[in-house]
Structures are given as structure tokens and as C-alpha cells.
């Protein structure tokens, strides 16, 4: 009888370990040549992620655990400065909190957004990278362990292109540091999918949304851009959020100068691998494939992502870490 009880205890502990191993972690990586300040906003009814904002120097990475069933959005603020009163103001993506933490506030457009619903229908994760609120820098979402995925299944999503380099003049914002959406710039129903255009039958792609879509085919370009823009993974895997997966020009502060960097607790500063540099990043043109304005290696999977044919990177499984405590417990069990 005692042996059965001990077996039940071990099985219970294994269940806890597996449950904990299924917790989702977002790893934020900054490959930009300047500091970014990630912001995090939880949807209504979703538990808050902690922190809701922080500083991330170039070459740094930071892991942030997500509450079970979390839903919300992630983005990068750029050009953040602190005034004499200690108030933090950012050139793009500002959440208006006045601090490093966004504390329940969202990004002011234009900003590139990563949107997530974890453990949703069928215990799946749903995610996308949205340019509906405009664009401020390249952003890539990579699910762990997604091998051989295609289309809108569990695969890399996002925008690796420098859209600021090819942003139409009438959409340029913050001195060329961001690109507004047509809805934000003009406020017309046909661009905002509102009023008579508030359904997928009447709200169609526009010349402006197609500029975004041609450069970033795996991102949302307008409100009803669903078929090639929403991705699904079985729940429980981790995600890497990379800002500037291909290095971009130095990010500018609100004053137009390169932002100084500061190392903060919880951040690692291992330098990323050498990345290709953009070409034609100052105004139009550029020589990247398909007019993307960034130089991507011929064999780069990022080049495939920009052309709509990406596969996710591989990551080692953590099952061995889960099994180790169970093995140690089993060694101490008496024979039945």
C-alpha cells in the first residue's frame, strides 16, 4: 500500500513538472544597432505580464514568462529619453505611461505589433505580426520546435524588411523613423475598415496596404488580411521576439541622435552573429530582393521569410530537464 502511495506521489510530481514545463516564455532579442524599449499590453480579462516594459540594449536578450492563457500585444519603443522630471518619452511606440513600464497602456501608432492568444481554441496558440497600426521597425516571431511548418501553421511570422526606407512620403512620420498606416494618416473608412467598410466583403486591400504586404507577406497589412497573416501552434511552446532580425541603421532618439545604451538587471549582452547591413535605407529604392530595402544573404531563411516562404528555427527540447527530477525520486523508492 505504501508503495502505491509513493508511486502516486511521483506521478503527481511528474504532472506538476510537465505542467510547469509547458509554461510559455517570450525571449526578446535586440539585433538593432540602437537601444529599444519593449512594451507589453495584456488584453482585457488576461493576466498581466511582468514587466510591462523595459530597456533592451543592442545585442541583448531578455526572457519574460507569460501567465497561462495570456493574450495581448508586444512591440518596441524607440528613441526614448528622460526629461528633467524623470518622465520617459519615446519617439515611436510610446505608451504614454511616462516610465519604462507601460502599466496597461498600448502603443501610440505607428508601431509594429506582435499579437498573441496563448492556449486558445483547441489549446492552440494564435499569433500574428500586425502593420495595421503602422510600422516603426522590423519584428520577427519564431515559435520553438516548429519544424517543416508552412503556410499559416506553426511557423515564423513577421516583417524583416525596412519599411521606413520605402514608406510613401505622405505616410512618413517622426522624421522617417516610422511609417503610418493609411487609416492613421487619412482617417477614411475605406482605409480603416469602418462604417460601410466594416466587413471583409467591402474592405479590400488598398495601394497603401499592398506596399506593406509586398514587403512583408507574413504580416497583417489591413484589418481583414487574415488568410496569410494569422499563425497557429500547439500550445505550450516558447517564442522568440526579435527586433531588427536584419540589422538596421542606428535608431534615433526624439532629438535625432543615437540613443546611449545602459545595461539593466535581467538582461544578457551576448553579441548576436554578424548580420547583413541594409542598403538604400535613406529614402526609397534600396537594392534588397523584391524591393525590401535590406540586404539578405542568398541562403538566408530571412530572405525566404520576406518572400513568404519561411520555416522556423530549431530549438532543443527541454524534456530531459523535466525527466531528471523524476529519475532522482525513483531511485529513492523502495522496491514493492
74-105, pLDDT tens digit by residue? 999 999 999 888 899 999 999 999 999 999 99
Mean of pLDDT values over 216-234: 90
pLDDT at position 23? 80
**Tens digits of residue pLDDT in 111-157:** 999 999 999 888 899 999 999 999 999 999 999 975 555 556 899 99
**Residue 122: per-residue pLDDT:** 84
65-69, 136-140, 262-266: lowest mean pLDDT where? 262-266
How many Cα neighbours within 13 Å face the side chain of 52?
19
Nearest to 160 by CA among 294, 319, 259: 294
Q: What CATH fold (topology level) applies to the domain 23-241?
A: Thaumatin (2.60.110)
In this prediction, residue 169 has a pLDDT band, given cuts at 50, 70 and 90, of very high
Q: Which residues contact 149 (CB under 8 A, 6 or more apart)?
A: 155, 311, 312
What's the pTM? 0.70
Q: What is the pLDDT of residue 108?
A: 97
Predicted confidence band at 6 (pLDDT cuts at 50, 70, 90)? low
> What is the mean predicted confidence (pLDDT) over 61-74?
96
Amino acid at each position: 500500500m505504501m508503495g502505491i502511495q509513493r508511486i502516486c506521489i511521483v506521478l503527481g510530481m511528474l504532472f506538476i513538472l510537465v505542467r510547469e514545463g509547458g509554461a510559455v516564455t517570450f525571449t526578446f532579442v535586440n539585433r538593432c544597432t540602437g537601444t529599444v524599449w519593449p512594451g507589453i499590453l495584456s488584453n482585457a480579462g488576461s493576466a498581466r505580464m511582468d514587466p510591462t516594459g523595459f530597456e533592451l540594449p543592442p545585442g541583448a536578450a531578455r526572457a519574460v514568462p507569460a501567465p497561462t492563457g495570456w493574450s495581448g500585444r508586444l512591440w518596441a519603443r524607440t528613441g526614448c529619453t528622460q526629461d528633467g522630471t524623470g518622465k520617459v518619452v519615446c519617439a515611436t511606440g510610446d505608451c504614454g505611461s511616462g516610465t519604462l513600464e507601460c502599466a496597461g497602456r498600448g502603443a501610440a501608432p505607428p508601431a509594429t505589433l506582435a499579437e498573441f492568444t496563448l492556449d486558445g481554441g483547441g489549446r492552440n496558440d494564435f499569433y500574428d505580426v500586425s502593420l495595421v497600426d503602422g510600422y516603426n521597425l522590423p519584428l520577427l516571431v519564431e515559435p520553438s520546435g516548429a519544424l517543416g511548418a508552412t503556410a499559416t501553421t506553426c511557423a515564423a511570422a513577421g516583417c524583416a524588411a525596412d519599411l521606413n526606407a520605402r514608406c510613401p512620403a505622405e505616410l512618413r512620420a517622426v522624421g522617417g523613423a516610422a511609417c503610418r498606416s493609411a487609416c492613421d494618416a487619412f482617417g477614411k473608412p475605406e482605409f480603416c475598415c469602418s462604417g460601410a467598410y466594416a466587413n471583409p466583403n467591402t474592405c479590400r486591400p488598398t495601394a497603401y496596404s499592398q506596399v506593406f504586404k509586398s514587403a512583408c507577406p507574413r504580416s497583417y497589412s489591413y484589418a481583414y488580411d487574415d488568410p496569410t497573416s494569422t499563425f497557429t501552434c500547439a500550445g505550450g511552446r516558447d517564442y522568440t521576439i526579435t527586433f531588427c532580425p536584419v540589422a538596421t541603421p542606428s535608431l534615433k532618439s526624439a532629438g535625432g541622435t543615437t540613443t546611449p545604451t545602459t545595461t539593466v538587471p535581467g538582461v544578457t549582452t551576448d553579441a548576436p552573429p554578424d548580420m547583413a547591413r541594409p542598403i538604400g535605407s535613406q529614402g526609397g529604392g534600396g537594392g534588397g530582393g523584391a524591393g525590401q530595402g535590406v540586404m539578405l544573404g542568398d541562403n538566408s531563411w530571412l530572405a525566404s521569410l520576406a518572400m513568404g516562404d519561411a520555416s522556423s528555427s530549431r530549438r532543443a527540447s527541454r524534456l530531459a530537464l523535466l525527466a531528471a527530477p523524476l529519475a532522482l525520486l525513483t531511485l529513492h523508492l523502495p522496491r514493492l
